[in-house]
Structure 1
């Protein structure tokens, strides 16, 4: 059918589709998603709400659109009741950047809040007062993420809040008149609909939209300067790297529990870029963490009664005591000045278990050693050398333990010791092959000569700028071809990935030029020629180009015979047991009947076999672990009815553990590992809109209070991405981000929200669970 007059030439000139315009525009699709995820309406009634003079779709059309955006069988994402619907809407209404205009007092009433408790800010959205009272009678506060109380059903609330005031001729605000008209129109379209329910639907359709001309909030992060190995901030350029140890002023965005023990020594006045009073500066960290239960220090840095008791008589039983963040007395006296002899005595009287205790960020007491420990290393009897000798005798593996960013004791030593010969003397006592790259792409014990290298400066912000080292590193990610114009280059790229996978069976520590091991490569590699053909063909027809003709569409759907990629020659078992012990087959791929994801799972089992044991905690040069790589490269639409993607992620999380305690510790470390954005895998899944990964990690016990280096929690990340350029351009991504939000604020009490009950975010994030 020909397109309407005047539209054909314009469409052809712009490269858009020619023919009948689509029924489901981007705006309608977004509204469809919101009504599907945040309301209990049936598909038929959703269509009724969205109908207008020129738009009256069929149920089948709406269902296909939903499945295209949210993948197959998305019914589990829907609210099960009106209570859950109201719960999701309240969380949505609390977001500081989701509404496009200030709600009216009637809309606040519909969402469950007393309009008298709303602060009216000119030109901005209304916010709840610091001590507002919801209609359920609970006191709520307006600080960031935690749980809301939704115990009261909207149908049981006081009737005065459920009735909409009748029209009066003295209403002068045109917006109020428009709101009234919208509510009555929805009540007319949706039969047996209460006024409050209609107001909630009106808010979903009208208030939570994305403006095409809105500001780009795709990341919600400020412009940044990149800090990486070999780069130094201005205040470090004139430091004499061959003299005394020097520690640069650290960034509070990367603060870990070990840093809380010395937060009182860092003043915002010493570093002008700190945003004092915003809650994330060092002054705030010192205040909040010292007020936590069982703190070792008081606000001004004095030892608490508990700490003085340990200091007077450090018994072995006392070494098992912890503060709220998992710091032991060993952490405390390692971090403070003037306790070297005391700490050496405590180590001599400790067992392996006490020495190996880590805090909630995986830090041992060696991670937090004070600067004075790194003085006088030229003397054989220096305190640090005495300490390391004791460690070698009691618990030699302690120096290889990694924190949440993959850093060991050697990473800290390298950042402080300027004399590389002294550093080499320390390293020579241990096995350098057990020290690996951290999240910032730095390995302190390289195989090559380190004389010409600059000192490693831990990443931090410059002024008010957030670190985004990976944004430059990933400008042309890992040498991957930027387009499919060169099909041979793309084929060669994935062939190299497959070759690394194959080589990992005989050499588990092998990595490519970008630091990826076999598991990283398995996450990204296209495993057979059939999948490669689909990838190239789909990339050849972007959505803005003309549609392929019917013959070409049939060719795209025709399953061509699987052809091997790469030169791998090892063999796998002919069957596909749950955990095969052999390496990849010569095709390194799957049969057409098996599918790509089951093939990845089969190969994942093989790479994690004890006889192979490729590391699941290895960081590549961009700061990603294998779990993060699978989250990045495998979107939800690749999952199948057997939930193979979920099985892959669960297999990675529990890999290599044995025994209940080991399983718990291993799972926690993998789930809470951070990349150079400060993101855990859960935060990364939220940013990318990976709802399968998000649900799997939540069920696995991931920390829902984790925040990135900019202090953003899960909802802040999601809401920033929803309003960003990527979500505006790709409605499928928008739908997946909204689905992730629905999972977080749905029927399960994950404790995520924009309202909390007084506990500071830094405490919630790192508190022992």
Structure 2
């Protein structure tokens, strides 16, 4: 988001010789933090942020304008509703290893740099070494850029004061406060090691917050003075590249998770082999994940219920099932992640056992049942059993007579034919098995780029031109910006970004006539539409270049003020295009070659600066047409992960409203709150808007509406709702 003209650059802050700015970068971050984590009204927030210079504090109107520039229009839904909501948000904040580490550093720096009692510690007002900057490059206990930010924990589970050498620890507990802290007790207890001898002194906090309880005041004080923005040092982050680029930043994000090596793990089907993973130490997780004790070997399965497989081995019921098959009383049973008795027999039994169970009608009611990972029982068949081709064909023939959906896809877009492909069956065997099935139905690209029957041949240039001609005769495209709505084969632009945008929009148009058409990145028309730029103003913002290729500042001129993608007319146009593409039959769960679905692309790309209603309606439209909010990419990310990684607050809210799993973890076992923390660490001091978006995403997700937790358990992530 472009910096507001009211906010001076980082250079001007440090070289200012006249009147200081009303809204320093530090003041903007403090206001954001207090707004999304506390119930304080804005006028009180302004008084706290400017308590060192109350006479020159800006008014509420100025604060509202600044808040809208940081959090976009109508940010009131981000504000905690009551103290219960506030308490949950700050509790989850105190559960963050990243934020505790930086809070401890801030406390240590505060004592070193300002040993006397001061009303409010300024985050980064004019100091060349801001106190809220990351301790990457200075101070005891500094963290290297590649080092894990997780702090040491004592046996009690609370962070050790040793994370900040020299920190003066307040050994008092929340019981010192009237009411024992109430909803803030967990936050105050977990952050006791961050308090100093000045925490109980009177001063500006008590004056401004007169009438608030002591736990409330201490919570606010620690939010301002300790939980400062975990910004990376200026030297640790390369500056943003200037000029045009054809690759969206979210597709090439250093803060993104690694991709899975081999198959994704874990999935609910893996829990049917839980005893083998734990007792025989058959860990499929990467070595780093295992070393950090974040794999199945060390996960706590308290509360996880299974009638068949536990961490101690197979149950008596499981042995009976493997020996004599299921009875009608077995059919109703499910484990905590939705696995049925058929899932168990497929995962632990032989094909003979499975065939025997299916030859009666006992299992018909659960034939198409899926677990919370979208897996049918065919998805979890033991790999070596798939080599028994005669029995496998018998099983498939039997299922074809029972209305079984063999095209069902799991959360990674894989159907049964993807698993056969992964087994490395010879082409003749694959053809023999699949010839009776609809190739267009099963030959879908999954998150890992696999198409069981191979990539179909692309349309020729002549076929594309014919489609383009028909499309232009069929629809009126006068409302589309002419520079961004070219013929399919326009004269090549000298700017690769503009040429790329022209291709994307052309593909989005043609998708209404041929919904299976793919662009160069394997995306369908919905992907292309999500990535398309529909206005001159937004194209200039993306490219930041003039005709000579030199970088230009992003300014809104009076004649193009409304010609940006975030305005209502452009978003409504995008909505109408999406509706047309979906009605034509485009797959809302199609994966491109990067392993992302259209919902993920829209969650990353939809602008939120101006019109705050139409963007969510586009996501609503996709989901109403079948887009899966639980689908994951090859790095284990859901659309919600990506929305958080891109700081898209409205997308986060919309996805959660549609049932997105706030406890999902990516391939690096990172929760959505972890992702927000990591992104804040990469924010630069001169980008308070970026920080505000990530902090807002984190705060709302941890609210009584979002209900996210810092460290989801297996049951949190994969348990049935």
Equivalent position to 1:623, from 595, 613, 621: 595
For residues 718-755 of structure 1, give each alpha carbon's deviation from its aligned partner in whole angstroms, at most 9, with x where no partner exists.
22222x2136552212111111222223343x443348
1:294–1:324: 8 Å Cα contact kept in structure 2? yes
Residue correspondence of structure 1 range 219-258 to structure 2 within 5 A = 254-258=265-269
Other structure's SS at 2:203 match: helix
1:319–1:354: 8 Å Cα contact kept in structure 2? yes
User: What is the rounded CA distance, in whole Å, between the counterparts of 2:159 and 2:298 in structure 1?
Assistant: 26
Equivalent position to 1:360, from 362, 372, 383: 372
1:635 aligns with 2:634: no
Equivalent position to 1:680, from 627, 633, 638: 638
For residues 575-634 of structure 1, give each alpha carbon's deviation from its aligned partner in whole angstroms, at most 9, with x where no partner exists.
xxxxxxxxxxxxxx99x9x6111111222222222xx22111111111111111110111
Who is 1:370 aligned against? Answer: 382
Cα distance change of structure 1 residues 735 and 318 upon mapping to structure 2, 3 Å threshold: same
For residues 320-353 of structure 1, give each alpha carbon's deviation from its aligned partner in whole angstroms, at most 9, with x where no partner exists.
432221112221111125x321211222224765
1:650 aligns with 2:620: yes
**Count of residues in Structure 1 that have an aligned counterpart in Structure 2:** 600
1:57 aligns with 2:58: yes
TM-score normalised by the chain length of structure 2: 0.72
User: What is the rounded CA distance, in whole Å, between the counterparts of 1:94 and 1:516 in structure 2?
Assistant: 39
1:402–1:408: 8 Å Cα contact kept in structure 2? yes
User: What is the rounded CA distance, in whole Å, between the counterparts of 2:690 and 2:17 in structure 1?
Assistant: 24
Equivalent position to 2:709, from 747, 753, 760: 753
Cα distance change of structure 1 residues 406 and 133 upon mapping to structure 2, 3 Å threshold: farther
1:679–1:709: 8 Å Cα contact kept in structure 2? yes
2:322–2:345: 8 Å Cα contact kept in structure 1? no
**How well do the aligned residues superpose, as a CA RMSD in angstroms?**
4.6
Who is 1:388 aligned against? Answer: 396
User: What is the rounded CA distance, in whole Å, between the counterparts of 2:450 and 2:648 in structure 1?
Assistant: 28
Other structure's SS at 2:683 match: helix
Equivalent position to 1:347, from 354, 358, 367: 358
Equivalent position to 1:733, from 690, 702, 720: 690
1:443 aligns with 2:451: yes
2:591–2:598: 8 Å Cα contact kept in structure 1? yes
Who is 2:326 aligned against? Answer: 314
Equivalent position to 1:763, from 707, 715, 719: 715
Cα distance change of structure 1 residues 496 and 546 upon mapping to structure 2, 3 Å threshold: closer
1:616–1:626: 8 Å Cα contact kept in structure 2? yes
Shift of 1:193: 4.9
Cα distance change of structure 1 residues 547 and 121 upon mapping to structure 2, 3 Å threshold: closer
For residues 379-430 of structure 1, give each alpha carbon's deviation from its aligned partner in whole angstroms, at most 9, with x where no partner exists.
xxx21122122223333631x2110100111111111125333333323332
**Unpaired stretches in structure 1, ≥5 consecutive residues:** 1-7, 105-115, 127-131, 138-149, 163-172, 229-249, 450-484, 561-588, 657-666
User: More displaced, 276-285 or 681-690?
Assistant: 276-285
Other structure's SS at 1:98 match: helix
Cα distance change of structure 1 residues 528 and 28 upon mapping to structure 2, 3 Å threshold: closer
Residue correspondence of structure 1 range 340-739 to structure 2 within 5 A = 340-350=351-361, 353-377=365-389, 382-395=390-403, 397-398=405-406, 400-434=407-441, 435-447=443-455, 488-528=495-535, 532=539, 553-557=557-561, 595-609=569-583, 612-640=584-612, 643-656=613-626, 670-722=628-680, 724-726=681-683, 728=685, 730-739=687-696
Cα distance change of structure 1 residues 270 and 628 upon mapping to structure 2, 3 Å threshold: closer
User: What is the rounded CA distance, in whole Å, between the counterparts of 2:194 and 2:291 in structure 1?
Assistant: 40
1:705–1:764: 8 Å Cα contact kept in structure 2? yes
Shift of 1:513: 1.7
Who is 1:186 aligned against? Answer: 205
TM-score normalised by the chain length of structure 1: 0.68
User: What is the rounded CA distance, in whole Å, between the counterparts of 2:72 and 2:420 in structure 1?
Assistant: 49
Shift of 1:20: 7.9
User: What is the rounded CA distance, in whole Å, between the counterparts of 1:448 and 1:655 in structure 2?
Assistant: 25
2:336–2:720: 8 Å Cα contact kept in structure 1? yes
2:544–2:554: 8 Å Cα contact kept in structure 1? no
1:511–1:517: 8 Å Cα contact kept in structure 2? yes
2:664–2:671: 8 Å Cα contact kept in structure 1? yes
User: More displaced, 188-197 or 25-34?
Assistant: 188-197
Shift of 1:432: 2.0
Cα distance change of structure 1 residues 134 and 406 upon mapping to structure 2, 3 Å threshold: farther
Greater relative contact order: 1 or 2 (C-alpha under 8 angstroms, separation 6 or more)? 1
